[in-house]
Structure 1
Amino acid sequence: MTPDEFRRYGKQVIDWIADYHEKIESYPVLSQVRPGEVAAGLPDHPPERGEGFDALLADLDRVIMPGITHWQHPGFFAYFPSNVSGPAILGDLLSAGIGIQGMLWATSPACTELETRVLDWLAELLDLPARFRSDGGGRDGGGRDGGGRDGGGAVGGGVIQDSASSACLVAILAALERAGGGAAARAGIARRYTLYVSSQTHSSLEKAARITGIGAANVRVVDVDPVTLAMDPAHLDALLTEDTAAGAVPVLVCATVGTTSTTAIDPVPEIGAVCRDHGVWLHVDAAYAGAAAVCPEFRWINAGMEEYADSYATNPHKWLLTNFDCTALWVADRQPLIGALSILPEYLRNTATTSGEVIDYRDWQISLGRRFRALKLWSVIRWYGAEGLREHIRTGVGLARDLAGWIRDDPDFELFEDPTFGLVCFRPRWEGLPDEEADAATLSLMERLNASGDLYLTHTKARGRVLLRLAVGGPATVDRHVRTAWERVRQEAGQVPVGR
């Protein structure tokens, strides 16, 4: 493809994307295809000779689009939002066009240094502790690790991962390194290591335990408060004491700010104090809710971070207008991370790396190669500014609170709890039905709603009951979309056959 051909077809692609976002409401939110239907529309064999790009665009409309579930549709309420914005799309395009591989500082200094600066910007926007910034935020050299011990001038910093799942995996590896597990593994010493989560913690922590060799059997599940669903610090303390006495080495505790199921918030200060007493790494997972801290009124969610957190992750690709994939991970001390992940073969040696004056982000992630993800986050922050990002968060929170008010005022529905962020959990009351039948009716209602094409919801189970989850936060979603969704829920609830 020549530069002139690229210009011609590139303009067509940009127009296609712009047209798609303009008419996105005309599509059913949830893909309507049956399994195998998309594959049936594709040739069994690749073309012998190259084809024109016009044919590809035609097949995009004919074959691919029917198999798309439209995450940017204003009626998409199923999962936490996966925000897309014009500046982020263009930033991604620039990254693809430049086409660098940013594994080392030397392979493109701008890739590394822009990422470092943009992660410092984001830490400032979220009002994260200064020790998470690449320069320690002007610290005096007496850094502390998350256990409250003297960190010997520990220097932290941020890095962009592909997802929060990778962020927690990397955090566990760093925690293992600090706990001696990395050195023990390299020496072939077998020990039992333990990881601490609650029933509300994301499943990626258990997967990470399997990958790191800790093992699912050594993932200890801490009790939660039966009402708030927040982790119980007293039970965490008891488990840590019990495991240490049994000869285990506790590695990491994961506290969640905004759980996937209901956006429950673990008490980070109390959990952090327990971690400090036991010398355990504290990772704070704020994949969804962390973005809310761009607004000063939500910075209470950072409580305990300054004193206790060793690592922290949030996803700009969820609620901060940045295309997937873009997870921000910060560590208070980068040395355990680098110690766990740095391997320097001869073919990667270079003057900058051996000087010790640069960051090589290959040592901050699982894979060697990395894309120039910082460009899209840089584009978003510069286009919207702090003011625009705050407006986006406040809009989603306001719409969720409006919906909660309508549910609360309707005697036929029950609100799980007032929403803190953009997620509303609720259910019909189904008066007179046993719990099991009522839960089945709620699931039937959800299926009816999702089949309508107008909106897409998911469910969860909390306090023993099935709930509908309606997550607000898409950039195209406005008041009328939430009102329409609520009216459709009420209408369809009256149509569910429940034998009454």
Structure 2
Amino acid sequence: MEWTEFSRWGSHISQWAADYHATLRERPVRAQVQPGEISAQLPAHPPENGEPMDAVMADFERIVMPGITHWQHPRFFAYFPANAAPPSMLAEMLVSTIAPQCMLWQTSPAATEMETRMLEWLRQALGLPGNFSGVIQDSASSATLAAVLTMRERALGWTGNAKGLSGQPRLRVYTSAEVHTSVDRAIWVSGIGEENLVRIPTGGPLRAMDPAALDAAIRADIENGFLPCGLVACTGGTGTGACDDLAAVIKVAKAYNLYTHVDAAWAGSAMICPEFRTLWEGVDGADSVVFNPHKWLGAQFDCSAHFIADPESLVKTLAIQPEYLKTHGADGIINYSEWSVPLGRRFRALKLWFLIRSYGLEGLRQRIRNHVAWSQSLAERLRQTPGFEIVTEPVLSLFTFRLADKTDAQLIEYVNRINTDGRIYITQTRVDGQIAIRFQVGQFDATRDDVDTAFDVLSEIAETI
């Protein structure tokens, strides 16, 4: 492709993108295809000769688009959002164009220094204290892995990377059943092992970890010869929005010199609104915190903000400095590849700069406040509607509900019928072993009318079960 052709197609795709977003409500939210339907339309062998872009784009429309679940659809109420606000998309277009590799300060000084400043902006927006430094990871999963590796190394006196875990005391990490499965995966990858991930009972309306049970578990492990090394707490758990009492559990962790990581992947974005910060009161005592601007804040995936109270411990865990990665003749620089598992790094800070400057913090706050209010309003409407029961109360914009007197199989059928209908998209979870239906509002362009449509669909299809 010549650059003149690139310019023409770039303009075409830009207009296509605007038209796509303008007409999203006309599309079913979830892809309405069967397994194998897309791959059956893709040739089994690559072409030997190049094809015109007209043909490629035509096949994109014909083959790809029917198989896309529209995460940017205003009636996407499943999982958590993966937003892509227009300024963020434009920033990503620029990043794709200049295509820098930002592993070191010297390989892209602007990317490194902007990342530092954007994480300072986010830290201030969240109300976190100034002792936290930040880095952009690709996902909360990577941030959690980095935290688990750091708690492992700190507990072992920084010998794990060199000596391995063989012959070392068995490490223990504490969490609840409400945390995301990325915690399990971090335990696997770090070599600590699933058997050493201790689940602490939860209770109360926020399904919070029991601090007394945490203390008892740690004491029992010490008596049995284990080495407690860390705690993973959550603010806004994926299933029901569970929030641990951070002040209480961090106090317990500090008493035993445990490293504490807080997973606020979804709910962290809401902490730009001061009135919601009661959900993570005590977070200032954590060793690390993660939240995803690519979920609720509007930054395009991938962009995960990882805050660390002691970055030296993180760097000591992850940094490798062969000669070819050293920067000579410059002091006081940060090489963010030493703060993350991958060496290669994208210029993710630019989309935060575009996003925050375009909307301002108050513009972003208002969207989040709207989503919370609309979700809570919907929960109340369902509560007052015969045949529905609220299972877990709204935490920010997330709540769960059931159809009264229906079996798990009937509830799954209800979810499937809703998603096949296409007007909205929802998912299920389990609460105390039983199926419940999750609902959350968080898509960047959602309106009150979209949430009202959700009520209509939920009520209409409930009559068919």
Same fold (TM over 0.5): yes
The 5-angstrom pairing of residues 168-247 of structure 1 reads 168-180=144-156, 182-188=158-164, 189-225=167-203, 227-247=205-225
SS of alignment partner, residue 231 of structure 2: strand
Letter of the aligned partner of 1:112 in structure 2? T
State the TM-score, normalized to the length of structure 1. Answer: 0.90
Is 2:423 the partner of 1:454?
yes
Q: Provide closer, same or farther for how the CA distance between residues 319 and 184 of structure 1 changes in structure 2, counting only shifts above 3 A.
A: closer
Aligned counterparts of 1:301 and 1:488: Cα–Cα separation in 2: 31
SS of alignment partner, residue 203 of structure 2: coil
Q: Provide closer, same or farther for how the CA distance between residues 218 and 201 of structure 1 changes in structure 2, counting only shifts above 3 A.
A: same
Aligned counterparts of 1:489 and 1:444: Cα–Cα separation in 2: 13
**CA apart distance, 1:182:** 3.5
Aligned residue in 2 for 1:413: 388
Aligned counterparts of 1:234 and 1:200: Cα–Cα separation in 2: 17
SS of alignment partner, residue 393 of structure 2: coil
What is the aligned counterpart of 1:279 among 257, 260, 271? 257
The 5-angstrom pairing of residues 86-105 of structure 1 reads 86-105=86-105
Q: Provide closer, same or farther for how the CA distance between residues 454 and 314 of structure 1 changes in structure 2, counting only shifts above 3 A.
A: same
Quick check: 1:226–1:463 contact (8 Å CA) kept in 2? Answer: no
Between stretches 332-341 and 185-194, larger displacement belongs to 185-194
Aligned residue in 2 for 1:123: 123
SS of alignment partner, residue 262 of structure 2: strand
Letter of the aligned partner of 2:437 in structure 1? L
What is the aligned counterpart of 1:319 among 296, 299, 320? 296
Aligned residue in 1 for 2:434: 465
What is the aligned counterpart of 1:295 among 273, 287, 290? 273
Aligned residue in 2 for 1:49: 49
Quick check: 1:460–1:469 contact (8 Å CA) kept in 2? Answer: yes
Aligned counterparts of 2:108 and 2:254: Cα–Cα separation in 1: 39
**CA apart distance, 1:82:** 0.9
**CA apart distance, 1:101:** 0.4
**CA apart distance, 1:227:** 4.8
RMSD value over aligned CA atoms?
1.4
Aligned residue in 1 for 2:377: 402
**CA apart distance, 1:264:** 1.2
Aligned residue in 2 for 1:151: none
What is the aligned counterpart of 2:227 among 249, 268, 272? 249
Between stretches 176-185 and 116-125, larger displacement belongs to 176-185
Quick check: 2:264–2:290 contact (8 Å CA) kept in 1? Answer: yes
Aligned residue in 2 for 1:334: 311
Between stretches 203-212 and 40-49, larger displacement belongs to 40-49
Letter of the aligned partner of 1:21 in structure 2? H
Aligned counterparts of 2:282 and 2:402: Cα–Cα separation in 1: 34
Aligned counterparts of 2:53 and 2:160: Cα–Cα separation in 1: 54
Aligned residue in 1 for 2:355: 380
Aligned counterparts of 2:91 and 2:73: Cα–Cα separation in 1: 21
Quick check: 1:396–1:422 contact (8 Å CA) kept in 2? Answer: yes
Q: What are the superposed Cα offsets for residues 13-66 of structure 1, whole Å, 9 maximum, x if unpaired?
A: 111111110111121111111111111111222121222222211111000001
Shift >3 Å, 4+ stretches: none
Aligned residue in 1 for 2:407: 438
What is the aligned counterpart of 1:343 among 320, 325, 347? 320
The 5-angstrom pairing of residues 25-36 of structure 1 reads 25-36=25-36
**CA apart distance, 1:115:** 0.3
SS of alignment partner, residue 130 of structure 1: coil
Aligned counterparts of 2:254 and 2:414: Cα–Cα separation in 1: 47
Q: What are the superposed Cα offsets for residues 368-411 of structure 1, whole Å, 9 maximum, x if unpaired?
A: 10000111111111111111111110111111011011012113
Q: What are the superposed Cα offsets for residues 216-245 of structure 1, whole Å, 9 maximum, x if unpaired?
A: 111111111165421111111111111122
The 5-angstrom pairing of residues 62-141 of structure 1 reads 62-132=62-132
Aligned residue in 2 for 1:59: 59
**CA apart distance, 1:298:** 1.2
Aligned counterparts of 1:211 and 1:417: Cα–Cα separation in 2: 33
Quick check: 1:128–1:302 contact (8 Å CA) kept in 2? Answer: no
SS of alignment partner, residue 416 of structure 1: strand
Is 2:440 the partner of 1:488?
no
Quick check: 2:240–2:392 contact (8 Å CA) kept in 1? Answer: no
**CA apart distance, 1:184:** 4.0
Aligned counterparts of 2:279 and 2:462: Cα–Cα separation in 1: 35
**CA apart distance, 1:175:** 1.5
Report the number of matched residues.
463
Aligned counterparts of 1:330 and 1:177: Cα–Cα separation in 2: 18
Aligned counterparts of 1:480 and 1:389: Cα–Cα separation in 2: 19
Q: What are the superposed Cα offsets for residues 245-277 of structure 1, whole Å, 9 maximum, x if unpaired?
A: 222221210110001000011000000100110
Aligned residue in 2 for 1:166: 142
**CA apart distance, 1:294:** 0.9
Where structure 2 has 5 or more consecutive residues not aligned to the other structure, the ranges are none
Aligned residue in 1 for 2:37: 37
Aligned residue in 1 for 2:12: 12
SS of alignment partner, residue 364 of structure 2: helix
Over the matched positions of the two proteins, sequence identity in percent amounts to 44
Quick check: 1:320–1:389 contact (8 Å CA) kept in 2? Answer: yes
Aligned counterparts of 2:118 and 2:52: Cα–Cα separation in 1: 39
Aligned counterparts of 2:79 and 2:333: Cα–Cα separation in 1: 38
Aligned counterparts of 2:242 and 2:179: Cα–Cα separation in 1: 10
Q: What are the superposed Cα offsets for residues 265-294 of structure 1, whole Å, 9 maximum, x if unpaired?
A: 100000010011000011111000011111
Where structure 1 has 5 or more consecutive residues not aligned to the other structure, the ranges are 133-156, 431-436
Aligned counterparts of 2:157 and 2:423: Cα–Cα separation in 1: 51
Aligned counterparts of 2:49 and 2:457: Cα–Cα separation in 1: 50
**CA apart distance, 1:476:** 2.2
